[in-house]
Amino acid sequence: METSNTTWTNICAANDLTPNAGICALYNEQQVAIFLCKQTNNVYAVANYDPFGGANVLSRGLIGSTQDIIYVASPLYKQRFNLSTGECLDSPDHKLKTYNVRIENDQVQLKEAS
């Protein structure tokens, strides 16, 4: 449920997304990795910063799935992050920031997660 102070921000055109690949966008001065998953036909958005490699590279990671969990594997050290929750599947003490994301009027839109 949206409240009156909830604002969606246009990030890019929906056709800028490539299925099963990530793009990086700047949102509120933070790098965000955005993915369109072909398997689920859902769009996901997580922080682009890899806490293990110390670099903004997750948008270059590979999408995969295990036990019905859609994840991105870091291109550096291959840790897998759940795209819905941000949790690291390989090291539960690490978690990425996630963002609410949607496609509205052919635009990818983000807002802060609750």
Answer whether 74's CB lies under 8 Å from 88's CB. no
Contact 49, 94 (CB under 8 A): no
Percent of the chain predicted with pLDDT > 70: 94
What is the signed CA dihedral for 68, 65, 44, 76, rounded to 10 degrees?
150
Closest-CA residue to 24 (of 54, 49, 6): 49
Instruction: Tell whether the model's pLDDT for residue 2 goes beyond 50.
Output: no
Domain 9-112, CATH number (from 2.102.10.10, 3.80.10.10, 3.30.43.10, 3.40.50.2300): 2.102.10.10
Q: Domain boundaries in the chain?
A: 9-112
* pLDDT greater than 70 at residue 4: no
Q: What is the mean pLDDT of residues 61-65?
A: 97
Mean pLDDT, residues 94-104 taken together = 97
Q: What is the pLDDT of residue 112?
A: 83
What contacts 3, CB < 8 A, 6 or more positions away? Answer: none
Q: Which of 100, 47, 98 has its CA nearest to residue 74?
A: 47
Alpha helices in 14-66 (DSSP H): none
Q: What are the tens digits of pLDDT across the range 13-58? A: 999 999 999 999 999 999 999 999 999 999 999 999 999 999 999 9
Q: pTM above the 0.85 mark?
A: yes
